[in-house]
Amino acid sequence: MIGAVGSSGGLAPQRRAIIGLGASLGDRRTTLSLAVQCLAAWPGVRCLDVSRVYESVPLGAARSLFLNAAVLVSTRRSPRALLEMCKSIERRLGRRPAARWADRVIDLDLLLVEGCVRRGQHLRLPHPGLLLRDFALIPAQEVAPSLRHGVACLCLRDAPPPSVRTGCRPVGSIALRVARETARSWSDQRQRNMKLFLDSPSLDQLRQASAWGVVDGVWSHACMLAGDGPDSPHAIRRTCQIVAGPVLAQTLSTEWQGLVAEGRLLARTNEHLVVCVPSTVDGLRATAVLVDDGIDVHVGLCFGPDEALSAAQAGAAYVSVFLGDYLDRIRPADLDRVKGIAALYADNPDLGTRILVDASRHAKHLPELAQAGVDIAVLPFFSLKSWCVPTEMVLTATEVGTVAERGALP
């Protein structure tokens, strides 16, 4: 169901993420402490909790004992931006390219982002080793026992014992004041299951809708690379600043090489930008390449489970499903198609793909779409306005003053 209007305006909801730390060279404890301080000072990232420091025996080519820890953060940053943050902090603290599994000055791994599954070559979420290695799982369980693993479909506290054991044992702590109360309160927060995206709004419409607190993203059907108009790269940046959530940007190419080139150029605009490609062979090939770059991709339009499964297997973060051309109703066959795709994704949570539908003709059917398993409904501004702010509930300035005088408003 769709929850109540929030108070965050156009900001994307905060998500928790777990970042694993490791070090085997130099002053390991100091390096871990510096890494935590870098995370705490990073723009848009707030540290909620830090685990104890654990010592573990090395794996692979490494020869020195490792110190490990985990940091729980809350953020509105995208997974791609969080990965870049980890790499940047590693460079700042002196890490240099080395052989896989070798000793290292510092290692930051993005282990888990709440509600996010990604399967790219350079960005895999949850981290494949999170449930397998004791030095990753034990600190993560300490800082976020209630956080849910998106592929295993269980809370970290319920994870089975890891198969890779390194004698992981606590040896100390990292001194940092963090909001532990805030970290605990996250488990009590409820999020909306189905989100609402605006369809190609103007900036004024987006600001107005964002003030209602129900807009989670934007889908632009126009090409955002052309000209200096409302869909120019400058307008994209302003759109992303307002909504601070996924912004789906259309591509024009039909061949996969062109789609990849356009997608990479679009992705530079903002970390939350999602590249839209067609549901074709070239579109799927471009999806696989872009996903390996850590870029979120939307594939559409899908007319059945086969296309939706192919898009998900290519790594698409979103697929749009055809919902029919009727203005006043949804055919049972179209709704069954959506339910079938939702069931397919539910049976394969490792795909991590979300279902998006164009609900411009079906605003009154939003509860029905949510029950069918739709993750995102896309509405034009005026449909969203009529749904969120019914005409009979809009008060004039005089009426608001009258109601306030009577004590009906705080």
| In a shared domain, residues 378 and 359 | yes
Distance (Å, rounded) from C-alpha 27 to C-alpha 197? Answer: 48
At 367, the pLDDT band (50, 70, 90 cuts) reads confident
**CATH code where residue 312 lies:** 3.20.20.70
| In a shared domain, residues 157 and 281 | no
At 388, the pLDDT band (50, 70, 90 cuts) reads low
Q: Which of 137, 166, 188 is the last residue of a domain?
A: 188
Answer yes or no: is pLDDT of 182 > 50: no
The mean predicted confidence, pLDDT, of the chain is 83
Residue tagged 């996250």 (tokens) = 186
| In a shared domain, residues 152 and 199 | no
When comparing pLDDT for 159 and 203, which is higher? 159
Q: Which of 148, 164, 188 is the last residue of a domain?
A: 188
Structural domain count of the chain: 2
> Do the domain assignments include residue 375?
yes
Model pLDDT, residue 384 = 82
DSSP element (H, E) containing 107: strand 107-113
Using one digit for the tens of pLDDT, what is the confidence trace for 204-253? 888 888 888 888 899 986 554 444 444 566 777 788 888 878 999 989 99
Model pLDDT, residue 328 = 64
- Which residues, 6 or more positions from 363, have their beta carbon under 8 angstroms from its beta carbon? 379, 383, 384, 386, 387
Alpha-carbon distances, residue 151 vs 119, 155, 349, 366 (angstroms): 11, 11, 5, 27
**CATH code where residue 96 lies:** 3.30.70.560
| In a shared domain, residues 228 and 182 | no
Model pLDDT, residue 72 = 96
> Do the domain assignments include residue 402?
no
Structural domain for 145, as ranges: 15-188
The lowest-confidence range among 185-189, 299-303, 317-321, 394-398 is: 185-189
Rounded average pLDDT over 305-311: 94
DSSP-based three-state secondary structure for 71: strand
Residue tagged 């070090």 (tokens) = 23
| In a shared domain, residues 100 and 223 | no
| In a shared domain, residues 373 and 225 | yes
> Do the domain assignments include residue 399?
no
Model pLDDT, residue 55 = 96
> Do the domain assignments include residue 408?
no
When comparing pLDDT for 245 and 285, which is higher? 285
| In a shared domain, residues 33 and 156 | yes
| In a shared domain, residues 201 and 97 | no
| In a shared domain, residues 172 and 262 | no
When comparing pLDDT for 238 and 306, which is higher? 306
Model pLDDT, residue 121 = 86
Answer yes or no: is pLDDT of 392 > 80: no
At 407, the pLDDT band (50, 70, 90 cuts) reads very low
| In a shared domain, residues 49 and 170 | yes
| In a shared domain, residues 127 and 251 | no
Answer yes or no: is pLDDT of 4 > 50: no
